[in-house]
Amino acid sequence: MGLEVAKAEQQREMTRLERMLCACRGQPTDRPPVWLMRQAGRYLPEYREIRARTSFLEMCRDPEIATEVSLQPYRRFGMDAVIVFSDILVPLTGLDLELTFQPGPRIENPIRSESDLDRLEGSVAEAMRPTCDALRALKTKLGNETPVIGFAGAPWTLAAYASEKKLSRDLAQLSTLSYRDPTLLDRMLERMAEITTEALRLQSEAGADVLQIFDTWAGMLSSERFQRFAGPALRRVLNALPTPRPPVIIFARGAGHLVDDLADLEPDVVSLDWRVDLEQVAGRIGQRVSLQGNLDPAALMAPAPEIARQVAQLIRAGRKARGHILNLGHGVLPTIPVEGVAAFVAAARDGAQTTP
């Protein structure tokens, strides 16, 4: 795009879809788009009302409820993207894993051996059907000017959950496996990469405009071990997605030490944990990938002017990257007041003009 066209682009108000796609691809935008991880969640009274009479998994499995819940934050705040309501463990429910939420995930028959792995039969497509139905419904309802985000768990993170009855903070099972039987772990990660790929491919076919991969537990690994395990599994997913594909965002929690490794995988966007200095990282990898983030989720507890101040700081820092999507550095906390989210979205929308 020539400089003149780029300038004109920046002046015209873009549609939400254009804004999001351009930010992902590092093309000029009128302002950074904004959405929030876990924006459909317990902090919303209208969400809690549904959740009071429906289990979490049932909510994921009912396309009408999933559609409604996905739209709730968009109706209130008008973010620049709607993420389909689901859970990263939903694809595993098609594979003879006895999964419950109580409220944290619990798997009665975790995978810890070759034979457990061989047992993993079933259909990801079947498990993902309600999510894909919800995605299609969202696309119909929203028209073509608002992007819908599909998502999946990264192979390493899926393996972390699949290998334990109840995930321990120190990832005991998976870490043990990585030192005792790395070959079995490799096989497990290959299998999980297939599942991640399938879940993303199905959502892309159902109309997802952007895909986000959550590697929630990658931050437990040193850079060296990320490059040995989680990284190659992610690369496998990126390579296996049919092209042309929607832009892909990768998020990893507590992974400030891995941002260069994540950029090396060449996703479209790296989503940063709140403890990372956005400006510093933008200077280092922001010309190779766009960046997403990274307000401290707890900052939404602050008074509105303080939220606006922090958003302005992020907008300034994000200009050092080829593209920037405003978001939190992790999901919305259930205890966050609705006003905090409103202040964040408003500051994102208005801040681009007023931020010097």
Binding track over 225-244 against its own copies, x by CB under 8 A: x-------------------
User: At closest approach, how far in Å is the CB of 44 from its own copies?
Assistant: 17
User: At closest approach, how far in Å is the CB of 230 from its own copies?
Assistant: 12
- For 224, other C-beta atoms within 10 Å of its C-beta total 9
183 binds its own copies (CB under 8 A): no
Q: Which residues of 82-106 are buried (b: 16+ CB within 10 A; e: fewer)?
A: bbbbbbbbbbbbbbebebeeeeebb
222 binds its own copies (CB under 8 A): yes
Catalytic residue among 43, 80, 161, 201: 161
User: At closest approach, how far in Å is the CB of 254 from its own copies?
Assistant: 6
53 is catalytic: no
161 is catalytic: yes
42 is catalytic: yes
221 binds its own copies (CB under 8 A): yes
1 binds its own copies (CB under 8 A): no
Q: Which of 89, 276, 312, 317 binds its own copies (CB under 8 A)?
A: 276
Q: Which of 15, 27, 54, 175 binds its own copies (CB under 8 A)?
A: 175
Identity of the amino acid at 130 = P
Stretch that binds its own copies, among 48-56, 78-86, 166-174, 343-351 (CB under 8 A): 166-174
119 is catalytic: no
113 binds its own copies (CB under 8 A): no
User: At closest approach, how far in Å is the CB of 27 from its own copies?
Assistant: 29
Q: Which of 28, 122, 219, 232 binds its own copies (CB under 8 A)?
A: 219
- For 3, other C-beta atoms within 10 Å of its C-beta total 8
205 or 277: whose CB is closer to its own copies? 277
49 or 260: whose CB is closer to its own copies? 260
Q: How many residues bind its own copies (CB under 8 A)?
A: 32
User: At closest approach, how far in Å is the CB of 172 from its own copies?
Assistant: 6
Judged by the rule CB under 8 A, the positions of this chain that interact with its own copies are 169-172, 175-176, 178-180, 219-223, 225, 254, 256-257, 274-277, 296-299, 301-302, 306, 330, 333, 335
Please list the active-site residues. Answer: 38, 42, 51, 87, 161
